[in-house]
Amino acid sequence: MYRRYGDSVRFLTLYIKEAHPTDEWQMDSNEKEQVCYPQPKTTAERVAIANDFVKRFHYEIPMAVDPIENPANALYAGWPERFYIVDEKGVILYKGKPGPFGYHPEEIEAWLSSRFPSGEAPAKSSRNSLRLLQRNARIAALTASSR
């Protein structure tokens, strides 16, 4: 989806608290995939984990980091994972159910393909989605490095 619509639609991953940290509820699948991190205790630790993930897995989607006080998670109930579609005015058009059982990327793909059948969307505004998220959740401007 990101490769198909990324030039026209702003995608953003928000890294919130660790779902399966090594010091709480580690899963075998995390060990197999070598995604093993302790639960961060500071925002700086959370940013470091996000940066490590982006670099190790060549993660292309822009990523913001919820501060350690979890304001975005409290506002958007994103744990452990969840999709939202937010329009350019900040209106939530789609709110997926929490993952893993309610995590359905195909619903996002269907929405995008019905809204933009040619695969092309109107030009996106530069950083509008992140600004709205920051304002609504009082997120510090902490974005994981993409490289």
Residue 53: the pLDDT is 87
Q: Which residue has the tokens 């998220």?
A: 133
CB atoms within 10 A of CB 64: 23
62, 147, 145, 112 alpha-carbon torsion, rounded to 10°:
0
- Say if 144 falls within a structural domain: no
Residue 120: the pLDDT is 57
Residue 18: the pLDDT is 77
- Say if 146 falls within a structural domain: no
Residue 138: the pLDDT is 46
The range of the structural domain enclosing residue 70 comes to: 2-137
**Residue-wise pLDDT tens digits, 58-101:** 999 999 999 999 998 888 887 777 888 888 888 888 888 887 77
Q: How far apart are CA 96 and CA 88, in angstroms?
A: 18
Give me the tens of pLDDT residue by residue for the chain, a chain 147 residues long.
898 888 878 899 998 887 777 766 766 666 677 777 888 999 999 999 899 889 988 999 999 999 999 998 888 887 777 888 888 888 888 888 887 777 888 998 998 888 887 755 555 544 455 555 544 444 443 444 333
Residue 23: the pLDDT is 66
- Say if 142 falls within a structural domain: no
- Say if 104 falls within a structural domain: yes
Residue 37: the pLDDT is 80
Residue 73 contacts residue 43 (beta carbons within 8 Å): no
Residue 27: the pLDDT is 66
- Say if 145 falls within a structural domain: no
Short-list 68, 81, 35, 37, CA closest to 142: 68
Q: Supply the CATH number for residue 133's domain.
A: 3.40.30.10
Residue 46: the pLDDT is 93
Number of domains composing the chain: 1
